[in-house]
Structure formats: structure tokens, C-alpha cells
Chain A
């Protein structure tokens, strides 16, 4: 206990340094988001699996001496063994090589389709929200109507007309996928435009460029990234789905959906032929969904504590 004496009562007054001191370390939005993502073990596991699969998609096919389309009728439907790690299919093709070639196609389609639809969606949605007026009005009416038409019907129809292949799939996805993104970005921009900090920035004399790049884009980016992450599994799923019902990719070209389709035809006798691609499709979609959930939690400013 300190003894109370006169000396203690000397005047000091306002201590500004002290009164304005912030005791917690300051953290930028992205640093904080990164910290929270790293703490999210499930999301990190998702990232790990995705990186692993991507690397294997590049190097996997070269790890065995068989190519994905070399037939060998002497060794059809072999279960996984020392020579053929994932077994062989109905034409005696090595499934390890086919799975990782399929990974290339599936991951490529997923990523490219998601990026394209995001770009289109962000540009149109951003413009619509920022410019407003007639452009916005007509654009939104158009999107409202287009969104009401089931996506799948559209994709199938485009595939039937354009034909099967990687590029038609990507085109079909791009045509249908941007609608949702555009709507989302527009909503975000409109909401932001109403907010006080944007008004404040404008009052302080920020020009359009500063407004768009310093305020509108950074504040929308979180939502865009999350939606992009969620769009990738969507595209992978549709590719698998289309190939499964027989209008996506045609053999000998390989994709996970294609492999699942071939596997499904013989699964009663050779279940591994369906199981193997099924595991890869599911794990990839799972990882992407977990990563998306993790990103959403990490990027949501409302969750900052």
C-alpha cells in the first residue's frame, strides 16, 4: 500500500498520449481475415487438399508408365494393384493416369468457369449498381427473368446445340453463371453507396477513382471472393453431372464426371471404378465448400471481435 502524502497530489493534467492509447494491436482487415482463416483448421485442411490435388493433376499422370488413353484388352477391370494403383477400366486403361488427367480437366473447368462468370458478373453488377438509372433498371429486369429460368435447362440446351467438349461447357457456365454474381455485386454496391463512410469520403473530396478503388471494391471483395470460391464446386459439379448423363465430355477424354459415369455402369461388379472418382469429386467439393465457409467467416467484418 502506498502511503498517501502531499507529494502524490501534484497536478499532472490531461495525458493525451495515454488517453488516446489503444491497448490492442491494430490489425488491417486482410491481416485479421488471414489470422482467422489460419486459425480455422477445417478450412486449412481444405486448402491443403486442394493444393495436393492441383499438384497431382500436374504431376500425377507422369508417375505411371501408362497414358490415360492407352487401351489394353488383356487387363480390363483390374482392381487396384501394384502395377495399376487405382486399377483399370473396361478398356484396360490405367485409372491412376485417368483420374489425374480427369483432375486437370475438372479443376480447369471449375476454376476457369468460376473466374469468367465472376468477372462478367462483377463488371455488369458493379456498373449497374454504380451507374444506376435506366441501365440498372433494364439490366435488373433482364437478370430477374433470366434467373427464373432453371440454370440446368439452359446449360443442357447450350450443350446440345454447341456440342460436347471443354470449351462448350465453360461457355455454357459463363452464360448462365454470371447472373447471380451480378445481382449480388449490385446489391453490395448499392448498399455501400448509401453508407455514411462513402458519403463522408465524397464530402472530403474523394474522386470517382478513389471512391471505387479505395472504398467500393475493397468492401465488396470479401463477398466476391467467397462467392467465387463457392462457384468453383458448382462448376465442377455441373461438369461431373453433364458428363454423367452423357452430354459433357466424351471418352477417351477423361474427367471425374466421365469416370464416374463409366464406373456407374459396372459398379455392381467393380465398385472401385465408381468409388475412386466419387471420392475425388466429393473431396474436392468438400474442400472448396469448407474453404468457402472459412473465408466467409474470416471475411465477414461483423464477426470481427
Chain B
């Protein structure tokens, strides 16, 4: 088990390093240098050039960038003067993280529940109903869900605030808008997984033991069906990230996605670079954590690897 974790950890580190390298060289292929912009004074530009050592050859720059990164330093934003990328991430991450966690807390339990209900009522009304919700959730992009929720619940019904991030009632609409897609994905997967497990021999063994239906379903079916859902948690977190970009934009939440989109529109390269690496590393680390969790949950992996 320890070897498995160490191996996964090492692979994750390598992946992050490759990500940084790719991002670094991709940005360097841009014509000119990333600090030439109308918004920067020559003085700042010179500071930047010195700060990153852009006057030196590429390999030296790369080494410098990596060593800065290792110190946790991602440089200054080009748009917001005197603010480092670190500060921006530090300020924005809590909102994004909270939004993401709220969305997950809403999406995963309800998704699993919906999938179970659908599978247990296979080819009946509940199944069709749940799957209509699920396929809509998969098909309708989060920015549309977000817009519609805003229009119905905030503009028309005036039940909840339209936008901003100032308290619990502000978090409800964005969390639902962000989580609905995940809920749908989880529900579909859970349903498929439950149906797959239904046909397994060990379910018949459980039936042959004379267990009541709730025990067969709970201890044998759900317990085995839930494993594949754990494996997609990594990709789900990554997909949630995509969602935060638009949800933060629609609901004017001062999170990372909001800054990322602004950064792109403002050609704030240091910020985009820093955020890209932060996001990438975050998703890779989440994947690593999910792998480790999976190793603990599935006894087959626990021993063999």
C-alpha cells in the first residue's frame, strides 16, 4: 500500500513538473515577451525582465522560473499593480474552494441517491424520471443553468440574490448551478454501476442467504456499485473547475475562475501562467488523493499493488 501511494505520488510530481515545463515553453513561444504591454511602464517592464532574468538564455530562465516556483513565488500581476499572483490566489481561492465544496456536497450525495433510485426501479417511472433529470443535467451547460436559475429565482421570484458572494443565501444558486452537471454524471454512473452489479453472481449468493431486500441492496449491491463512482471523483473535480470559470463570471464571485477569465481578457500573462500552474497542480493532486482513497476503499487494490 505504501509503495502504491509513493509510486502514485512520484508520478503526480512528474506530471506537475511536465505541466510547468510545457506551460513555460508555450508562453515563451509567444512573439515578443510577456511583459511588453501598453499597461506596463518601461520601468516595471525592466523590473520584470530582471526579476525573471528574461535577458538570459532560455535554459537559465527556465531554471530561474523553477527555482522561483519552488520558493512559492509566481511573480507580480501585470494588471493589478503591486499585487503578486500569490496574493491574488490567496484572496480568491477561499471563495472558489467554498463554491466547489458546496457544489460537491450537493451533487455527490444526491447524484448517488438518484442513481440508486433509478436502478432499483429499472424501467419504471422513477427510472425514467431520474434519467430525464440526469441527461438534462449532462446536456445543459452550467452557464445556461446558472443564467436560468438567476432569472427564475432572483430576477422573477426575487427569492435569492442575483449575484455576489456575501453570505449563505448568496451561495445557493451558484452551488446548484455548478453542481447540477456533476450530479447528473454521478447519477448516470451510479445507475449503470448498480445495474451491472445486479447481474453479478454474488447478488444471487446474497439472495440465496435469505437476506431481506434492504440488506442485499445496501450491503452487497450499493457497496460494490459505489466503487466506480469513486474513480471518477478526480475527473469530476477537474470538470467542476471548468464550471467555476463561468459560474464565477455569471454570479460575479471573486474567485480564481473569475480572475483567470479576466486575466485572459486582459492578457495578464503572469497571472494566467500562475493560475494555470496552480489549477493544474491542484487537479493533479486531487487525482492523487482520489487514487489513494480508492486504494483504501477497494480491497483488491489495497493488497495487490
Near B by CB (< 8 A), chain A positions 68-89 give none
Q: Which of A132-158 contact B (CB under 8 A)?
A: 144-145, 148-153, 156-158
With A152-B242, A153-B280 in contact, do A282 and B26 touch (Cβ < 8 Å)?
Answer: no
CA A264 – CA B250 in complex, angstroms? 8
A151, A240, A264: residue with the most chain B Cβ atoms closer than 10 Å: A264
Query: B284 and A274: CB pair below 8 A?
Result: no
Q: Which residue of B has the minimal Cβ distance to A284? A: B139
Across the interface, which residues of A come within 8 angstroms of B264, CB to CB?
Answer: 156, 160, 245-247
Q: Which residues of B contact A33 (CB under 8 A)?
A: none
In the complex, whether A237 has a CB less than 8 A from a CB of chain B is yes
At the interface, yes or no: A290 with Cβ under 8 Å from chain B? yes
Residues of B contacting A241 in the complex (Cβ-Cβ under 8 angstroms): 141, 143, 242, 245-246
Which positions 194-211 of chain B face chain A at CB distance < 8 Å?
Answer: none
| Nearest CB on A from B132, distance (A) | 10
Size class of the B contact interface (CB-based, 8 Å): 35 or more
Q: Give chain B residues whose Cβ lies under 8 Å from the Cβ of A144.
A: 11
Bound: A60/B151 CA distance, A: 29
Q: How far is the CB of A238 from chain B (nearest CB, A)?
A: 9
Give min CB distance, B253 to chain A, whole Å. 14
Cβ of A233 and Cβ of B139 under 8 Å apart? yes
Q: Which residues of B contact A (CB under 8 A)?
A: 11-12, 14-15, 18-19, 22-23, 26-27, 29-30, 135-136, 138-141, 143-144, 147-148, 150-151, 155, 162, 238, 241-242, 245-246, 249-250, 260-261, 264-265, 272, 276, 279-280, 283-284, 287
For chain A, residues 211 to 245, give those with C-beta under 8 angstroms from any C-beta of chain B: 233, 237, 240-241, 244-245
For the complex, is A281 an interface residue (Cβ under 8 Å from B)?
A: yes
Partner of A245, one of B14, B261, B272: B261
Tell me if B246 and A289 are in contact (CB < 8 A): no
Do the beta carbons of A285 and B139 come within 8 Å of each other? Answer: yes
Given contacts A241-B246, A246-B261, contact A152 B151 (CB under 8 A): no
A179 adjacent to chain B (CB < 8 Å): no
Is there contact, CB below 8 Å, between B272 and A160? yes
Residues of B contacting A161 with CB < 8 Å?
Answer: 26-27, 29-30
Provide the residues of chain B in CB contact with A282, threshold 8 Å.
Answer: 136, 139-141, 144
Residues of B within 8 A of A153 (CB): 276, 279-280, 283
A245–B141 touching, CB < 8 Å: no
Q: Is A169 an interface residue (CB 8 A)?
A: no
Check A245–B23 contact: CB distance below 8 A. Answer: no
Instruction: Pick 24 A–B contacts, CB within 8 A, sort by A.
Output: A145-B18, A148-B287, A149-B280, A150-B280, A153-B279, A153-B283, A157-B23, A157-B26, A157-B272, A160-B272, A161-B27, A241-B143, A241-B245, A245-B249, A247-B265, A260-B147, A264-B250, A267-B151, A268-B151, A268-B162, A274-B147, A275-B148, A282-B136, A285-B141
Report chain B residues within 8 Å CB of A149: 15, 18-19, 22, 280, 283-284
Bound CA span A144–B288, Å: 13
Name B155's contact: one of A245, A247, A268, A289 (CB within 8 Å).
Answer: A268
Cα–Cα, bound, A52→B276 (Å): 40
- Which A residues lie within 8 Å of B147 (CB)? 260, 263-264, 267, 274, 278
In chain B, what residue has the closest Cβ to A240? B141
**Nearest chain-A residue to B23 (Cβ)?**
A157
Which residues of B are found within 8 Å of A281, using beta-carbon distances?
140-141, 144
Q: Does the CB pair A145–B136 fall under 8 Å? A: no
- Complex alpha-carbon distance, A150 and B282, angstroms: 10
Other-chain residue from A244, A263, A274, A286 in contact with B139 (beta carbon distance below 8 A): A286
CB distance from B235 to the nearest CB of A (A): 9
Closest partner residue, chain B, to A42 (CB atom): B135
Task: Give the CA-CA distance A246 to B261 in the complex, in Å.
Answer: 8
What A residues does B135 contact at CB under 8 A?
Answer: 286, 289-290, 293
